[in-house]
Structure 1
C-alpha cells in the first residue's frame, strides 16, 4: 500500500482570478472558430485554390477540435487539467503562427488543425473550476465558462471583419497568437493546478479508435453537400464510421481504464444531456450562418439588408454578449429550480427567438432583437449543460465527461453547418453564375433550427428530476465542494476485533484509515471534520476528530482515496492515500496548514 500527501504549504495563487482567466481562455477558443468567417468567401482566391479545397481550412479546425476535446479532457483528469490547458493553448499559438506566415493551402490546413486543439480548453476549464472553487461560486463560474464559446464568437466576428477590411488577412492569425500567448501567461499566474487525479492510465488505443471514428463520421457531414449525400464516398464513410465506433465501444467496455466510461455515459442524466447538447449546437450555429448573410446581401434582392461586413458583425455580436450576461441569471435560476429547469427554459426561449425570426427579417434592428433573444436562450441552455454533467459523474471524470459533452456540441454545430449549408445552396438563385441565398432558404433554416430545439426540449424533459439546489454555504476548499456536492454513499460499519485495550483505535480488524489531525505546530486538533472521498469522487464516510486529534474512517473496499480535513482556525487539507483492502488500518496523520496558508496545490 502507498500513500501520497500533497505539499500543502506551497503558496497557491488566489482564487479571485481563476474565473475571468479561464473564461478568457474559452473566449480565445471561440475566436479560433470564427476567425476566418469574414474572409471565408475570399479564401479560394487568397489561397489560389478551388472553393472545394478551400473549405478544408475550416473543416480541419472542426475535425481537430472534435478529436482533441475528449482526449485532452481525459489527459487532464490523469495528469493535471492546468497542464493540459496550457498544452492546448500552446499548440493553438503554434498553429496560429504557422498560418500567419503562409498562403499555401496544405500548410494552412495543418496550422488550422493545430488551432483546433484549443477546443479542449472548455472542458478543462470547467474541470478546474469544479476542483478549485467553493460551491457558492461554482454555478455562475461554470455558466460563464460554458457560454464563453458564444461570447468569443460574437465579439470576434466584428473585430475580425474590421481587421480583414483594413489590413492583410494574415494579421488575423498574428492577433490570435497574441491573445493565445496572453491566455497562457494569465493561466500560469492566476490558475493553480488541480490536486485531483483520476486512477488508471491513458487509453491510447481507445483514443486512436475514437479519433478515427469521429473523423470518418464528421468528414462526410462537413463535405456531404460537396460530394453528394447519396454518393459512394459519403455513404461509405458513414458506414466505416459506424463500424469503427462500434468496435471502439466494445473495446471501451472491456478495458480497465477507458478513455470514455460508456457505462457512465449511458446513464439517463448523461445520455439525455449529451443528446440535448447536440440540438443546442444545431440551434446555435444556424443563426450564425443565416444572419450575417442576410445582413450583407444587397438590397436589390428585395430582402437583403445591404450592410457592410463590420456592421453585420456588430448586429450579430449581441448573440454572444447576451450569452455572457445570462451567466449570473442562470446561477440564480439553477440554485432555486435546478439545472434541468434552466435548460428547459433556455430551450423555450430559443424556440421563441427562432419563431419570431421568421417574421423579423426586414431591418437590421430586427436582427439585433433576434440575436438578443436567441443569445439569452442559448446562454441559459449552454450554462446548464456542465452542471448537469458534473452532477451525474464522479469528480475524477469531470474532464473527460465535459470533454465528451463539448464534443456533442461540436457535432451539433457540424450537423447544423452541413444541413443549413445544403438548404441555402439548394434554395439559392443563380445570378450571373453566383448562388444568391433566398428568403425562403433563410426561413427554412430557421424552421429546421426550431425543430432541433423541439427535439432538444424533449430530451431535456426526459432528464431525471433533481432536488432543488439548496442555498450554498461558504466552503473552505474545493475538496470540500467536491465531497459535499457528490452523492453520499453510506459509510460501511467497521467490524472491530478488540485487542484488549477496549478502545476503537486498538482494533486490529479495522479496515480503513486512522491517525491524528494535527495543527501546523504539531499539536492535536479536536473536532476537525475528516471526509473520505473514493476514487469516483463520492463521499464514502465522514467523522470528527477526538479531543486528542484521533480519527478513524472505515473503507468499503481497496483502492485510492482522498481524505479531506478542515477545522476552525486552520487551513484545509486534502491527502491522497491507498488502502490494500485487508483488515489492517492505514496509519495516516493529517497536518493542517495555517489558516492563511491557502488550499492544497
Structure 2
C-alpha cells in the first residue's frame, strides 16, 4: 500500500525524525497541521476510542445465556471473549506499524470498518462459528486507541498534546463504564441481536466522523510490510495468551497448555532472531528494548492487570445474593450503573495526568497513578475486612478511586512512550504498549479468575444454589493486585527523566 499523500507543513522536519539513531528522548512533537478544527478531530478520535472499547464489555450480560443462544457448550461459548482478546492483542501492534507506514487515518478507518463488519456478522449469527468470526473482526478494531494516540501527536499543537493524548487514552475507561449498562438495557428490553445492530451503527457513524473531521497526517514512512515478522508475532502472542487465559480451565500441566507455552518460547526466540537489526522490521527491537520503553511496558502490563482485576471483582460482589458472604444482590443494570462513574472519573483524571506530566514528567504521573490505584484496592480491602457489611456505596467509592488512578496512569503511558520514541515510530511503539496492557489483562483473567473459582461458597440464588467467591478469595486477589500496583509504581519511577511537555523542543 502507498502512504497517504499529504503535503508536509514547513515544520515536518522535526528533530524527532532525525533522532531515530540517537539514544535520547524524542520530542513530543511531530508534523503539525494547524488548520482550525483540531479540537473537533480530537473529540472524534476519543469518540471512536469509546466505540471500540464498548466492544470489550457489551458481551458481558450475554455470557450466561450464550450457550443457549448459540446452541453450544459453555466452554465453547467462552471463546466469544477469548477470540476478541487474541485478535486485538495481535492486531494492535500490526495496526500501529501499518499506521506509521501508510497513514494513520487510513488504518483507523480500516479498524472501525472491521468493528462495523464484525458487529453485523454477530447480529446475523444464530450459531457459534459465525459469531466467533464476528467477534474476531471486532477485535481488529482494538488498535484504534493506539493508532489514534499516534495520530494526535501528528496533528495537535504541542501545548495541547498532553491533554489530548490523555483524553484519548481515557476513552477506554469511558467505553468500559458505559458498555455494561448500555448492553444490559438493550439485551434485556429489546434483543441481543439489536445490541450488535446498534454497535454496527455507532461504528459506521464513528468511521464517517473520522473521515470528515480528522485531517490526514503528513507523516507516513512507506516501505514494505514485514509479513514474516507479523506472522511470528501472531504465533507467539497467540500461544502465550491462549495458555494464560485457558490455563485454569484446561489445567496448567495439561499437554495443551504445556505445548502452547513451549510453542511461545520457540516462536519468540525465532521471531527475536529474525527481527533483531532487520531494516523495516515490524517492531524495532532497538527502540522498544531501551530502558525507558522497557520499563514503561512493564508498568503497562501491571496496569492492565490491576485494571481488569477491578473489572472482575466488584461486579461479582454487587450481583452476588445477599446470602453470600459479601453479596449485595443487585441486578445487572443497577450493578453496572454503580460502576459507571468510575469510567467517567477516569476520563476526568486524564487532564490531571496531563497537568502532572507538564509539571513533573510522565514518569511521575505514571507512578502516582499506580499508587492511586493501590489506594482504591486498600479501600476495597477495608470494605471486605471491616466490621461493616459491604454496600454499593463502598464499591462506588472504590471504583472512583481506582478510576482516578487509572485515568492518571493510562494517560501517562503513551505520553511517556512518545518522550522517547521517534515521531515516525509512534504508531508501532504505542501498539506494542497497548499489547503489553492486553498481556496484563490476560494475566488478571488467569490469576484472579483462578483464585475466585478455587475458593467459593454455595448459596441460594434466584434460580437455585449458585457458587460465589468467598471473602478470603477476594482478599487474596486484592493483595496480589496491590503488589502489582507497587511493581507498576517502581517501574515508572525507575524510568529516566525525559523532556517535560512544556520544555522547549531543541
Query: 2:419 matched to which residue of 1?
Result: 391
Question: Structure 1 residue 434: deviation in Å?
Answer: 3.8
1:41-190 paired onto structure 2 within 5 Å: 41-190=64-213
Q: 1:369 aligns with which of 383, 392, 397?
A: 397
Question: Structure 1 residue 67: deviation in Å?
Answer: 1.0
State the distance in 1 between where 2:34 and 2:306 align.
44
Tell me if 1:348 matches 2:351: no
Question: Structure 1 residue 11: deviation in Å?
Answer: 12
**Contact 2:34-2:157 at 8 Å conserved across structures:** no
Query: 1:436 matched to which residue of 2?
Result: 468
**Per-residue deviation, residues 1-32 of structure 1 (Å, max 9, x unmatched):** xxx98287999672131111000111011100
Give the TM-score normalised by structure 2.
0.90
**Contact 1:198-1:397 at 8 Å conserved across structures:** no
Q: Which has the higher strand share?
A: 1
Give the alignment's Cα RMSD to 1 decimal: 1.8
Query: 1:456 matched to which residue of 2?
Result: 488
State the distance in 2 between where 1:11 and 1:287 align.
40
Query: 1:480 matched to which residue of 2?
Result: none
Query: 1:406 matched to which residue of 2?
Result: 434
Q: 1:124 to 1:467 in 2, by over 3 A?
A: closer
Query: 2:335 matched to which residue of 1?
Result: 312
Q: SS at 1:300's partner residue?
A: coil
Structure 1 gap ranges (5+): 473-483, 489-601
| Higher relative contact order, chain-length normalized (CA < 8 Å, sep 6+) | 2
Q: SS at 2:276's partner residue?
A: helix
Tell me if 1:236 matches 2:259: yes
Q: 2:478 aligns with which of 446, 449, 463?
A: 446
Question: Structure 1 residue 332: deviation in Å?
Answer: 1.2
**Contact 1:13-1:191 at 8 Å conserved across structures:** no
Q: Which has the higher helix share?
A: 2
**Contact 1:126-1:145 at 8 Å conserved across structures:** yes
Query: 1:300 matched to which residue of 2?
Result: 323
**Contact 2:100-2:220 at 8 Å conserved across structures:** yes
**Per-residue deviation, residues 332-372 of structure 1 (Å, max 9, x unmatched):** 11111111111111111111110111122500011000000
Query: 2:14 matched to which residue of 1?
Result: none
Tell me if 1:264 matches 2:296: no
Give the TM-score normalised by structure 1.
0.76
Query: 2:446 matched to which residue of 1?
Result: 418
State the distance in 2 between where 1:333 and 1:11 align.
25
Query: 1:494 matched to which residue of 2?
Result: none
Q: 1:421 to 1:470 in 2, by over 3 A?
A: same
State the distance in 1 between where 2:233 and 2:96 align.
13
Q: SS at 1:360's partner residue?
A: helix
Question: Structure 1 residue 305: deviation in Å?
Answer: 0.2
State the distance in 2 between where 1:188 and 1:159 align.
26
**Contact 2:315-2:335 at 8 Å conserved across structures:** yes
Q: Look at both structures and tell me which one has the larger radius of gyration over its CA atoms.
A: 1
**Contact 1:221-1:415 at 8 Å conserved across structures:** yes
Query: 1:546 matched to which residue of 2?
Result: none
**Per-residue deviation, residues 241-293 of structure 1 (Å, max 9, x unmatched):** 11101110111114211000001111011000001000000000011100111
Question: Structure 1 residue 225: deviation in Å?
Answer: 1.2
State the distance in 2 between where 1:230 and 1:428 align.
23
Question: Structure 1 residue 144: deviation in Å?
Answer: 0.7
Query: 1:6 matched to which residue of 2?
Result: 7
Question: Structure 1 residue 405: deviation in Å?
Answer: 0.3
Q: 1:469 to 1:79 in 2, by over 3 A?
A: closer
**Per-residue deviation, residues 533-571 of structure 1 (Å, max 9, x unmatched):** xxxxxxxxxxxxxxxxxxxxxxxxxxxxxxxxxxxxxxx
| Stretch moving more, 46-55 or 431-440 | 431-440
Q: 1:467 to 1:120 in 2, by over 3 A?
A: closer
Structure 2 gap ranges (5+): 11-32, 385-389
**Per-residue deviation, residues 74-129 of structure 1 (Å, max 9, x unmatched):** 11100000000000100110000000011210110110000000111011101110
State the distance in 1 between where 2:399 and 2:417 align.
27
Q: SS at 2:357's partner residue?
A: helix
